[in-house]
Amino acid sequence: MRVLVVEDHPRVADAVARGLRRTGAAVDTAEDGEAGLYKARVNPYDVIVLDRDLPKLHGDEVCRLINAEQPDQKILMLTAARGTDDLVEGLALGADDYLAKPFKFAELVARIGALARRSGEVRPTVLVRGDLELDPARRTATRDGRELDLSLKEFGVLQELMAADGAVVSSEQLLERVWDENTDPFTNSVRMVIVTLRRKLGDPSPIETLRGAGYRI
């Protein structure tokens, strides 16, 4: 899951980003509305966490523009206002959910997860390919009943490969979905994670490499 956090208070943005990364999400941040809108236009996100009161370009305008250009994009709007009128106004601008500050981090994570499950194509709750089983909600993965001890990146890559249902997933697509914007596009991170993931999955390896195209299960 890839998330964009648009928040002008660095401490809040950093805390949210660090917390989401601990759940396995790839997180990008932006400190004003203009930067947030730019990143939303050039990167694919499952969910955008958007503060309403932003400098340079107000969060309401960012939300309106994203909704007009990408109507399927899921947006969770954050605001210091707690009134019903504010909630209604935020949802009317195109936000999919609305959370008032201060909020409990566990609730934020739950709401982001719920929006991510509604974005794009519908995925089954538990992914199964052959003797592999992966439960994104519980963050567990097994092969032939044996529990796999996977790092966050290994889990994310395996989830994307299994969700592809036999289709080929390129290294570029894995970088977009599992890593954040700070990753060098020419890095060998994907290849290295595939190597360690294969070792943990055991033989015979369920991951097939298609030279010049990518990987599939």
DSSP string, 147-169: EP---HHHHHHHHHHHHTTT--B
Domains parsed from the chain with CATH numbers: 2-118 (3.40.50.2300), 127-216 (1.10.10.10)
For the four alpha carbons of 156, 115, 172 and 170, in that order, the dihedral sign comes to positive
* Residue 142: other Cβ atoms inside 10 A: 13
What CA–CA distance (Å, rounded) separates 22 from 95?
Answer: 25
What is the β-pairing status of strands 47-51 and 2-6? parallel
* Residue 108: other Cβ atoms inside 10 A: 18
Tell me the longest C-alpha to C-alpha distance in the chain.
58
Q: What is the pLDDT of residue 37?
A: 96
Are 181 and 39 contacting, i.e. CB atoms less than 8 angstroms apart? yes
Q: What is the pLDDT of residue 140?
A: 92
Q: What is the pLDDT along the chain (217 residues), one digit of tens a residue?
A: 899 999 999 998 998 998 888 888 889 999 999 999 999 999 889 999 999 989 999 999 999 999 999 989 999 998 876 665 666 665 677 889 988 888 888 899 889 988 887 765 555 678 999 999 999 878 899 999 999 999 989 999 999 999 888 999 999 889 888 888 777 766 788 999 999 999 999 999 999 999 889 999 9
What is the SS3 assignment for 88? helix
Q: What is the pLDDT of residue 64?
A: 93
